[in-house]
Amino acid sequence: MLFIAKRIYRGGELGKVSTSAVRIATIGVAVGIMIMVISLCVTSGFQSEIKSKVASLIGHVQIVNNQSLYRTQTHPIQITDSLRDRLLSIPEVERVQRFALCRGMLKTDNAFRGVLLRGVDAYFDTTFISTHLIEGCMPSFGATSAPSDSIVLPARLARVLELCAGDRVYAYFFDENLRARRFYVSGIYETNMADFDSHMCYVDSRVTQKLSQWQSDQFQGAEIVLKKASDMHRITDTISSLFQPRFDAYGQFYTVCTVEDMFPQIFSLLTLLDTNVMAILILMICVACVTVVSGLLVIILERTRFIGMMKAMGATNGQLRHLFLYLSAMIVLRGLFWGNSIAFLLLFVQKFTGVLSLDPTVYYISQVPVSFPRLQLLTINVLTLLVSVLVLIVPTYVISRIHPARSIRFE
């Protein structure tokens, strides 16, 4: 039966009406799988890009003072070199970066803005910020014995204050007394993450520690970047077990939290995208099934005389059903081939040219991202093929109602 199905499909013996129906069915499957592949790759790319950006900015896991979770003020926690080395000994951990925060205000002759100074030390990985610099350079914080007076500003803040790389700017800090410090603008960065680009400035951690009157081993916390983001929740428990007791030498309580805990609004949005993609997948599979079923029924109707002759020669209903299922599977496979080919062509064009752009103030990125989750792509192709063939089993039972003597006279 497979041989006959191939002969009918490849030999151009479908008939005029059947040929049109097969083309429509093929197009339906191709359009469905094309939309599914593009939706999956774009959504996966968007999620991967946003998660990568957030992790590069604040890590996958953070160790902070328990009081920092519930108050806007900065509260230190002791992060010693030995503790950092213990964290790095965990196989899944890629790097550990300590940071010290300090709130203040930057003022120029024409404007002023509240900022959050993020003090970093020599262990800070500058790769991500360096790749997003639009002006100037990234200084090597902690490279000298004296604290650096360099500052790296976000682009939005720099535009408001009308600052450029190389300018001087005064920062003011309000505590019991008003204090001022002059910084040298070393670089200006733009990550398109509104939560960071509006106020997050990078300085030497020794500067923020001095301004906050903290000890040299006191930091706002430590951010931990993992080799695999999928290990985040499992490693959180492992890291928590390192703190026994949970209090540092200054009586502060260690708290371990994930990036999802700190920015639930961003990750809730990413989770919602999965629901939208699932709805698209279900809808497109239904479209593919409807077009294939319609095409199969047209083929069966136009080949009624052929079915009657096959029955007269001894073919059973089961054999004929298998024949038309093979024929339908060929139609689906052809649709999958063309749909995937067109989808991947469009996706590769977007990946290497970035022709489709986005508003970074809304989507956090400047162009439509593309990622290729191989297992998920294979799954939707196999699932489309299986579902399409399975729903065709019921229509093939029409064959059992065709009588050989009547069908041979069928016009």
> Between 361 and 178, where is the model more confident?
178
Amino acid at 298: V
Amino acid at 129: I
User: How large is the average pLDDT for residues 244-273?
Assistant: 81
* φ/ψ of residue 203, rounded to 5: -140, 180
Helix, strand, coil percentages, rounded to 5, for the chain: 55, 20, 25
Q: Are 148 and 115 in contact (CB under 8 A)?
A: no
Condensed to tens digits (0 to 9), the pLDDT of residues 173-190 reads 887 778 888 999 999 998
Identify whether 245 is preceded by a cis peptide bond (ω within 30 of 0).
Answer: yes
CA atoms within 13 A on the CB side of 105: 11
Condensed to tens digits (0 to 9), the pLDDT of residues 32-53 reads 899 999 999 998 888 888 888 8
First-to-last alpha carbon distance for the chain, in angstroms, is 24
Whole-angstrom Cα distance, residue 185 to residue 125? 19
User: How large is the average pLDDT for residues 153-163?
Assistant: 90
Q: What is the pTM of this model?
A: 0.76
pLDDT at res. 398: 64
Q: Are 209 and 164 in contact (CB under 8 A)?
A: no
> Between 102 and 265, where is the model more confident?
102
Joined tokens for residue 156: 């939005």
Residues contacting residue 234 through CB under 8 Å, at least 6 positions apart: none
Whole-angstrom Cα distance, residue 169 to residue 151? 9
Q: Residue 11 above 90 pLDDT?
A: no
Least confident segment among 3-12, 65-74, 244-253, 381-390: 3-12
Amino acid at 178: L
pLDDT at res. 378: 92
> Between 272 and 103, where is the model more confident?
103
Q: Residue 411 above 50 pLDDT?
A: no
pLDDT at res. 403: 56
User: How large is the average pLDDT for residues 15-24?
Assistant: 66
CB atoms under 10 Å from CB of 395, counted, come to 18
The residue whose two tokens read 């599977």 is 329
Whole-angstrom Cα distance, residue 351 to residue 49? 13
Condensed to tens digits (0 to 9), the pLDDT of residues 82-101 reads 888 888 888 888 889 999 98
Hey, which bits of 142-253 come out as E strands? Answer: 150-154, 168-174, 178-189, 200-204, 218-219, 221-226
Condensed to tens digits (0 to 9), the pLDDT of residues 282-314 reads 888 888 888 887 777 777 666 666 666 666 666
pLDDT at res. 344: 94
Buried residues in 347-385 as b, exposed as e (16+ CB within 10 A) = beebbeeeeeebebeebbbebbbbbebeebbeebbeebb
User: How large is the average pLDDT for residues 72-81?
Assistant: 83
> Between 314 and 120, where is the model more confident?
120
pLDDT at res. 387: 86
pLDDT at res. 313: 65
